[in-house]
Structure 1
Amino acid sequence: MDLRQLRYLDAVARARSFTAAALDLHVAQSALSQQVAKLERELGVELLRRTTRRVEVTEAGELVLARGRRALAEAEAIRADLDALHGLVRGRLRIGGVPPVSGLHPASLIAEFGRAHPGVEITIREDVAALLLDELEAARLDLVLALVAPDDTSPALTGVRLLDEELAVVAAPGHALASRKRVPHAALADEPLVAYGHGSALRHELDRLFPDGRVVAEANELATLRELVALGLGVTLMPAAVVASARDEELTVRPLHPRVRVPVSMLWRANETPTPAARAFREHVLAEVTKSS
């Protein structure tokens, strides 16, 4: 038994799929399967039950994983401690991100950090906030940037509120709302809405403000939402800074009245010592937010 086999077993158990685990680990699926099978032969037990649809962890597999994950965590901690001792920033950094909001542009932050720390292998995961936070809690991500307040997440997570972002009404230029300087909440009550999918922080806010709203389309891509709105299918709410640069002929952006602001936070697991790479990225983000404030 070695750490590589335990790491492979853990990846398959989390993904419930050999294919997905191989992609996550950047290894051939055949090599992954061989190492897991070898571990099962060495231990003399079935650790994973393969079905046509997914992979299930056996009772023996759960026992092995419980100790194996502790061993993997200790091995990572040894490397992190040694790197910290020598002032090195390297290793792996897995970030869950959101589209750009306010002065915070995740892609730019990550690119700048990568150039400054070429020894860090960075993986970026984009999805709705709820799924990203689940992956963070399950230790499949190291950090998440999301439109939620740290206090509104699981007790297993913590973080820092970086800034607040104002939401704006976005409509096609010819829409009736385009003639208003400010849009009262009541004016959106009967409007067809274009929204992010369930699980996103923006969808949660839209449902909170308009619980009886009529959603005519859902999308998780910012470009798709903007295009649907520009074509007149419906209106939506977006962080004002995301659409502030839009040309007048593409979209009309109007403030809500009364104003609505959402938090922008950086989140990580509570009661866990960060790796040097995760700590350095936290400091990088905080420095950039301070600089732009």
Structure 2
Amino acid sequence: METTLRQLAAYAAVARAASFTAAAAQLHISQSSLSRAVADLERQLGTQLLERDTRNVQLTAAGAEALRIAEQIVNSHRSGMKELERFLLGESGTVAVATLPSVAAVLLPEVISSFRKQQPQVAIQIMDGLEQSVVDRVLSGDADFAITTGEPSGQLEHRPLVRDRFVAVLPQAHPLADRPQVSWEDLAREPFLAVGRDSSVRRLTDAAFAQVDAQTAPASEAGNVATVGGLVAAGLGVSAMPALVLPLLGSGPVVHRPLVEPAVDRRLDIALRARRPLPPAAQRFLTTLEEFRTQQRDLPTGVSWT
């Protein structure tokens, strides 16, 4: 028979109190049960831990060492159970969020700040990347959920979160900058600076040009939206970006104008693995995000809650 946590806790209580009667009262068990537990422990260890007489209980040398070890084990168990309880209540652990760079930089910081005030023991891990890599993070289990574009599938459940509208991004001195709004056909007549094909922004701009039957081969393309912003600022062409991306373009001399004919929105959803429960801390984070949505907290111009 193996030594049990109950036996160690019983022995530690007796050894600390130097009394079976006091320890039994502390543990709310009968004195006979307590005596039996200590006797079983001594029998399993093959040594006497306590010297007993009618009035006193004293520790043997082995008993003193056994008390030190027993208290370590009992305290470690108690601490571990409290840690598990905090995890199950969503008060500890790590929330792993996979998302697009624009969401990570613009939308999430205020949400994370609010969440951390409520749950300071929970760490937040942001995994930013392009659309497919973000989805893959969720499917592989590396991330608890994603905030991304794309359509629902059999593997992922989508919950609408925000929309951001595409705008024309123009050099400050460009002739189109004088207009109150710009059409996609207007952009198609200019050297167009595109982001890489793996980006959700590229997928949506290509679809918008196709919708107006404009054959537009990019004059240049770059994997990073900040690079595209720099190229526009240098006067090398024009571009189109959803509103949430604009803060990532840098501080160069560019202007933004509403894009029309058609107006194009990018929808960003919360994507979760279908039929898989979220860890408690991740569920609490989503609750905070939902509170931002229901309260209609302020968003940048061109971005709206869905």
SS in 2 for 1:207: helix
Gaps of 5+ in 1: 1-78
- Once the two structures are superposed, the pairs formed by residues 146-157 of structure 1 within 5 Å of their partners are 146-148=148-150, 152-157=151-156
**Residue number in structure 2 paired with 1:198:** 197
What is the TM-score when the length of structure 1 is the normalising length?
Answer: 0.63
1:162 touches 1:264 (CA, 8 Å); kept in 2? Answer: yes
Taking the aligned partners of 1:116 and 1:158, their CA distance within structure 2 comes to: 27
1:98 touches 1:106 (CA, 8 Å); kept in 2? Answer: no
- Once the two structures are superposed, the pairs formed by residues 10-159 of structure 1 within 5 Å of their partners are 83=85, 87-100=89-102, 105-148=107-150, 152-159=151-158
Distance 1:246 1:189, change over 3 A: closer
2:100 touches 2:134 (CA, 8 Å); kept in 1? Answer: no
Taking the aligned partners of 1:221 and 1:111, their CA distance within structure 2 comes to: 27
% identity of equivalent residues = 27
Distance 1:100 1:131, change over 3 A: closer
Taking the aligned partners of 1:146 and 1:159, their CA distance within structure 2 comes to: 9
**Residue number in structure 2 paired with 1:237:** 240
Shift of 1:115: 4.2
Distance 1:190 1:274, change over 3 A: same
Once the two structures are overlaid, the 10-residue window that deviates more, 117-126 or 281-290, is 117-126
SS in 1 for 2:288: helix
Taking the aligned partners of 2:279 and 2:226, their CA distance within structure 1 comes to: 34
**Residue number in structure 1 paired with 2:188:** 189
Distance 1:247 1:217, change over 3 A: closer
Q: State the one-letter code of the partner of 1:158.
A: E
**Residue number in structure 2 paired with 1:221:** 224
Q: Which structure is larger by alpha-carbon Rg, 1 or 2?
A: 2
Distance 1:218 1:248, change over 3 A: closer
Shift of 1:104: 6.1
Taking the aligned partners of 1:147 and 1:169, their CA distance within structure 2 comes to: 20
2:193 touches 2:238 (CA, 8 Å); kept in 1? Answer: yes
1:99 touches 1:222 (CA, 8 Å); kept in 2? Answer: no
Shift of 1:85: 8.8
Gaps of 5+ in 2: 1-80, 298-304
Q: State the one-letter code of the partner of 2:229.
A: R
Matched, 1:271 2:275: yes
2:159 touches 2:271 (CA, 8 Å); kept in 1? Answer: yes
**Residue number in structure 2 paired with 1:252:** 255
Taking the aligned partners of 1:88 and 1:246, their CA distance within structure 2 comes to: 36
Taking the aligned partners of 2:200 and 2:236, their CA distance within structure 1 comes to: 22
Shift of 1:273: 0.6
Shift of 1:278: 1.1
Taking the aligned partners of 1:138 and 1:249, their CA distance within structure 2 comes to: 38
What is the TM-score when the length of structure 2 is the normalising length?
Answer: 0.61
Taking the aligned partners of 1:249 and 1:224, their CA distance within structure 2 comes to: 11
